[in-house]
Amino acid sequence: MAEKKSAVLCQSCGMAMYDAENFGTDAQGNRVSDYCRDCFRNGGFVEPELTMEVMIQRLSEGMFRSEQEPSIRDSIVNFIGSLERWHGELWTPPPSTISVVEDNEETPGGLSSSFSPR
Ligand SMILES: [Zn+2]
């Protein structure tokens, strides 16, 4: 009897994962259910600095090396944007000129809860 395996999509790169060994691992070495081992290992992202933009770039280059159709790239953008890792991240097209990246570190200024239980 052939068992039908359903693929789980990595919520970072969108890779379809079929076997347990495709999945990433948490800090205890257990398999996680959301990410592949290329993206997530030992409880952390392999490339924590990775941006959605770079991921899109990689996917479009990997899939359509020579003939890059903008429409396909669009669907990649949509696809990646739907994944959990990038969910809510606002993707903006790269600027035509590269400017110095500002190191704008935000310090959380104390969470004052406006919530008052009665
Ligand atoms: Zn992945």
2: in domain: no
Q: What is the pLDDT of residue 61?
A: 80
pLDDT in tens, 20-69: 999 999 999 999 999 999 999 999 999 999 999 999 989 888 765 555 56
Tell whether 67 is covered by a domain. yes
Q: How far is the CA of 22 from the centre of ligand 1 (A)?
A: 9
SS (H, E, C) 44-96: EECCCCCCHHHHHHHHHHHHCCCCCCHHHHHHHHHHHHHCHHHCCCCCCCCCC
Tally of structural domains, the chain: 1
Range of the domain at 26: 8-86
Q: Which amino acid is at 112?
A: S
Q: Is residue 78 one of the residues assigned to a domain?
A: yes
- What's the whole-number average pLDDT of the chain? 79
pLDDT tens digit sequence for 59-99: 888 765 555 567 778 888 899 999 999 986 655 655 555 45
| Any domain includes 70 | yes
Q: What is the pTM for the complete model shown?
A: 0.65
Q: How far is the CA of 94 from the centre of ligand 1 (A)?
A: 23
